[in-house]
């Protein structure tokens, strides 16, 4: 991208999402947006030094675009869900043969509300985490957003389409990965599926090849492409799966449990690659998971669902600030510690010969006071301060939300 | 053009995929050898017991070549209905439905991809066996004339099976329906006994039903490849294909709204 005119084309045309994802006031100069190996702030400063003239014009231009009322509004929202509901009817059967026979003649059905009046919005290019325990309604929501399931009530717009009406048109614009279900042809090498997808999404052969080259580099799967998928490890296969779902440059990626069953390294691999695709191509990512690590590593904003309803919705940083106020501190001293070690407002977890382990809430007890107390107690050799894992925080939110629900509701669907 | 190449690629990848386990592919096709041998014994006894060289216009040789092609058509077919019902049961239909292609054409392309090699191997093994038992067919060139009808038979078979498969959207398990269809096809399709051996009234009924267009028509065309017969087989087949296609599309549209994707 060189020069203002090219950029103007990009902004006015298709990819408003990219510009917005980077931030509304990032200069539209040459090479804006984080490139590989250059952090975002460094990138901006290079631009500012090199092209001050361009900068002024581009600020002006952005101002004009942003103030044209309503014109670009729709392009900025990629998902809009209003009062979405899905109710499943499931047959109930008592245990044993008698129960089976009875259910033949007098079937009993129970209604399961998998999704209840769900409403939320997702901006273009956003990294949104959609988390909740098993059976919270995450997958059902994703399936409705891709148009596979028809909702019982409510409305949804994904990239301007109503998914269950324009499923095929929408399919060209979104990529999906269902972590528990492979989409690659199991007995064939991944490259075969990539080429097939190229055809299915109606790409030129040359374009497909270019895209495959790019994705194999981004996901580090060059050596895996020629191996039959069944011979890959789960982590390797998942990388291929996500790469395949990005082949047609979707604007929105829906990932349903992409890290399920993966080890720490494999998870990190996938997260890095997804992050990179978000930064380089501005693809929006809606990610369901019950792994808080995914959320912490990837998402800017989080929606926590339970029992088919939103129980919490905020920026991940706010979530941390609000709920991650507890600190765990482990201190080691040069001298022996007295047995009756205590600090006001601090919970002492363990007192050893040379060290103590304690926990306190920064909202109640100031960090300063605790630290000065600790250093006053002796010569500190080593200190470790840690946050409680995000899992705990989320579990707490689930519990709080769960206690407000009526008990005894079936949660078989998710 | 792009639309066509889309389905052509799906067909191709299924074709390659069916070669993933060549041993299994060949092993399965070898089954036709004992089948043909049993048919040979059965009909040899029947013909000699009747004391006739020709029954219902067919000689022993005609009968066996007819049965060879009928078996080839039948054994080459993949279990479309079961695949579709499995897709619904295990939820993999989610991946099929969220791609920009037509669900039914996708299923047809994969079905054809699975059919080709199986049918070819069946024809080779079955053909060699029959050749060894009763000698060369009377009209080897008949196979070329029968080809369009064989393809039509597969299309027709697809329509019926897809319809059964679609009922999985509602009832999930379809094995009962496929069982019934299979037995009807055995009897009215002329898979065990050429329809020509039936009493007149049953013949005319069976020949009209779609099952005969899916087996009897093309197999019979192979042993009597005449122009008029070709036209009559093809026109009946085409009528059934058209009618069932329309019905299939209607059923599909209705079924989709019913669909509940399992799991997750």
DSSP A189: B
* Domain annotation covers residue A81: yes
What's the domain count of chain B? Answer: 1
Residue A118 DSSP SS3: strand
Phi-psi region of A175 (alpha: psi -120 to 50; beta: other; left: phi over 0): beta
Total H helices, total E strands in chain B:
14, 0
Residue A38: the pLDDT is 40
Distance, in Å, from the CA atom of A8 to the CA atom of A364, rounded to the nearest integer, reads 51
| One domain for residues A281 and A349 | no
Could you list the mean pLDDT of each consecutive 10-residue stretch along chain A, which spans 414 residues?
Answer: 36 36 38 40 42 52 48 68 87 79 80 89 92 83 88 92 90 89 89 94 93 93 92 91 93 89 86 92 89 82 88 85 81 85 84 88 85 86 80 74 51 40
How far B169 CA sits from the closest chain A CA (Å)?
12
Residue B1, chain A, CB below 8 Å: the answer is no
Cross-chain residue pair A149–B91, CB shorter than 8 Å: no
| One domain for residues A144 and A184 | yes
| One domain for residues A19 and A159 | no
Containing H/E element for A128?
strand A127-131
Cross-chain residue pair B98–A146, CB shorter than 8 Å: yes
Q: How many CA atoms lie within 13 A of B74 on its CB side?
A: 27
Q: Exposure of A49 by Cβ count < 10 A (0-12 exposed, 13-18 middle, 19+ buried)? A: exposed
Q: Report yes or no: B200 and B119 within 8 Å, Cβ to Cβ.
A: no
What's the domain count of chain A? Answer: 3
| One domain for residues A164 and A200 | yes
Q: What DSSP line would sit under A324-366, residue for residue? A: TTEEEEEEEESSPPPTT---TT-EEEEE-SSEEEEEEETTTS-
Q: How many CA atoms lie within 13 A of B12 on its CB side?
A: 13
| One domain for residues A58 and A169 | no
**Which positions in chain A touch B104 (Cβ < 8 Å)?**
none
| One domain for residues A106 and A58 | no
**Which positions in chain B touch A194 (Cβ < 8 Å)?**
none
| One domain for residues A123 and A249 | yes
| One domain for residues A231 and A265 | yes
Distance, in Å, from the CA atom of B256 to the CA atom of B175, rounded to the nearest integer, reads 20
Cross-chain residue pair B98–A148, CB shorter than 8 Å: yes
| One domain for residues A109 and A248 | yes
> For every one of its 264 residues, what pLDDT tens digit does chain B have, with 9 covering 90 and above?
778 899 999 999 999 999 888 898 999 899 999 999 999 999 999 999 988 888 888 899 999 999 999 999 999 888 899 888 888 777 778 778 888 998 899 999 999 999 999 999 999 999 999 999 999 898 888 899 999 999 999 999 999 999 998 888 777 778 889 999 989 988 899 888 899 898 989 998 998 999 999 999 999 999 988 999 999 999 999 999 999 999 999 988 887 777 655 544
* Domain annotation covers residue A183: yes
What the block records as the tokens of B15 is 């074709």
Phi-psi region of A137 (alpha: psi -120 to 50; beta: other; left: phi over 0): left
**Which positions in chain B touch A188 (Cβ < 8 Å)?**
13, 16-17, 20
Cross-chain residue pair A183–B21, CB shorter than 8 Å: no
**Which positions in chain B touch A167 (Cβ < 8 Å)?**
97-98
Beta strands at A252-256 and A174-178: parallel, antiparallel or unpaired = parallel
| One domain for residues A187 and A282 | yes
Q: Report yes or no: A168 and B100 within 8 Å, Cβ to Cβ.
A: yes
How far A50 CA sits from the closest chain B CA (Å)?
44
Distance, in Å, from the CA atom of A156 to the CA atom of B149, rounded to the nearest integer, reads 47
* Domain annotation covers residue A227: yes
Mutation target among B12, B19, B21, B100 for the A interface, most CBs of A within 10 A: B100
Residue A285: the pLDDT is 94
Q: What is the CATH number of the domain that holds A363?
A: 3.30.70
**Taking a contact as any Cβ pair under 8 Å apart, which residues of chain B between 18 and 47 contact chain A?**
20-21
For B16, name the nearest residue in chain A, comparing CA atoms only. A188
Domain that holds residue A86: 77-319
pLDDT tens readout for residues A248-286? 999 999 998 888 888 888 888 889 999 999 999 999 999
Residue B221: the pLDDT is 92
Place of tokens 């898979």: B191
- Final residue of a domain: which of A298, A319, A340? A319
* Domain annotation covers residue B264: no
Cross-chain residue pair B100–A181, CB shorter than 8 Å: no
For A140, name the nearest residue in chain B, comparing CA atoms only. B264
pLDDT tens readout for residues A235-249? 899 999 999 999 999
**Which positions in chain B touch A149 (Cβ < 8 Å)?**
259-261
| One domain for residues A220 and A153 | yes
Domain that holds residue B137: 2-258
| One domain for residues A308 and A366 | no
Distance, in Å, from the CA atom of B88 to the CA atom of B112, rounded to the nearest integer, reads 20
Q: What DSSP line would sit under B48-67, residue for residue? A: HHHT-S-BTTB-HHHHHHHH
How far B71 CA sits from the closest chain A CA (Å)?
28
Give the A:B interface size as CB pairs under 8 Å.
84
- Option in A174, A180, A201 nearest B264 (CB): A180
Residue A339: the pLDDT is 78
């Amino acid at each position: 991208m060189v020069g203002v005119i090219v950029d103007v084309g990009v902004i006015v045309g298709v990819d408003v999402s990219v510009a917005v994802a980077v931030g509304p006031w990032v200069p539209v100069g040459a090479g804006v947006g984080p490139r590989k190996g250059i952090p975002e702030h460094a990138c901006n400063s290079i631009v500012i030094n090199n092209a001050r003239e361009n900068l002024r014009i581009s600020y002006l231009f952005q101002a004009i675009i942003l103030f044209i009322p309503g014109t670009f509004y729709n392009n900025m929202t990629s998902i809009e869900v209003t009062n979405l509901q899905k109710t499943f009817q499931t047959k109930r059967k008592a245990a044993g043969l008698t129960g089976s026979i009875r259910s033949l003649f007098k079937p009993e059905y129970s209604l399961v509300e998998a999704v209840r009046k769900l409403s939320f919005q997702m901006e273009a290019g956003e990294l949104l985490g959609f988390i909740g325990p098993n059976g919270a309604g995450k997958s059902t929501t994703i399936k409705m957003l891709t148009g596979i399931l028809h909702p019982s009530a409510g409305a949804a717009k994904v990239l301007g389409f109503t998914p269950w009406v324009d499923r095929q048109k929408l399919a060209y614009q979104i990529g999906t990965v269902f972590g528990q279900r492979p989409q690659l042809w199991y007995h064939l090498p991944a490259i075969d599926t990539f080429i097939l997808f190229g055809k299915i999404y109606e790409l030129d052969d040359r374009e497909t090849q270019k895209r495959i080259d790019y994705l194999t580099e981004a996901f580090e799967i060059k050596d895996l492409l020629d191996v039959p998928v069944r011979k890959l490890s789960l982590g390797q296969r998942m990388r291929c799966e996500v790469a395949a779902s990005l082949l047609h440059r979707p604007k929105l990626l829906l990932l349903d449990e992409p890290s399920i069953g993966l080890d720490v390294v494999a998870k990190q691999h996938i997260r890095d690659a997804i992050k990179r695709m978000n930064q380089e191509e501005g693809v929006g990512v809606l990610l369901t998971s019950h792994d808080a690590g995914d959320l912490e590593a990837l998402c800017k904003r989080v929606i926590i669902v339970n029992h088919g309803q939103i129980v919490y919705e905020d920026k991940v940083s706010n979530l941390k600030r609000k709920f991650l106020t507890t600190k765990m501190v482990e201190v080691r001293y040069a001298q022996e510690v007295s047995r009756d070690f205590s600090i006001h407002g601090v919970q002492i977890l363990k007192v050893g010969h040379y060290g103590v382990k304690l926990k306190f809430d920064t909202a109640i007890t100031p960090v300063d006071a605790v630290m000065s107390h600790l250093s006053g107690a002796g010569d500190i050799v080593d200190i470790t301060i840690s946050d409680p894992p995000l899992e705990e925080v989320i579990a707490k939110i689930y519990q709080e939300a769960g206690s407000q629900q009526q008990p005894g509701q079936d949660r078989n669907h998710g | 053009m792009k639309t066509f190449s889309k389905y052509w690629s799906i067909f191709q990848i299924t074709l390659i995929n069916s070669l993933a386990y060549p041993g299994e592919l060949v092993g399965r096709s070898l089954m036709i050898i004992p089948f043909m041998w049993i048919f040979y014994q059965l009909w040899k006894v029947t013909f000699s017991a009747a004391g006739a060289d020709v029954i219902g216009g067919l000689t022993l040789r005609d009968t066996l070549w007819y049965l060879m092609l009928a078996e080839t058509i039948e054994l080459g077919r993949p279990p479309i209905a079961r695949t579709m019902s499995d897709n619904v049961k295990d939820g993999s239909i989610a991946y099929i439905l969220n791609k920009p292609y037509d669900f039914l054409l996708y299923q047809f392309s994969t079905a054809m991809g699975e059919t080709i090699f199986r049918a070819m191997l069946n024809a080779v093994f079955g053909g060699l066996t029959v050749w060894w038992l009763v000698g060369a067919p009377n009209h080897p060139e008949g196979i070329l004339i029968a080809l369009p009808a064989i393809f039509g038979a597969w299309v027709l078979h697809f329509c019926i099976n897809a319809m059964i498969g679609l009922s999985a959207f509602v009832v999930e398990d379809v094995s009962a329906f496929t069982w019934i269809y299979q037995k009807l096809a055995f009897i009215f399709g002329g898979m065990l006994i050429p329809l020509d051996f039936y009493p007149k009234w049953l013949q005319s009924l069976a020949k009209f039903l779609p099952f005969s267009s899916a087996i009897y028509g093309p197999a019979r065309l192979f042993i009597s490849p005449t122009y008029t017969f070709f036209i009559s087989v093809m026109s009946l087949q085409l009528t059934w294909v058209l009618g069932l296609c329309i019905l299939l599309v209607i059923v599909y549209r209705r079924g989709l709204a019913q669909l509940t994707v399992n799991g997750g």
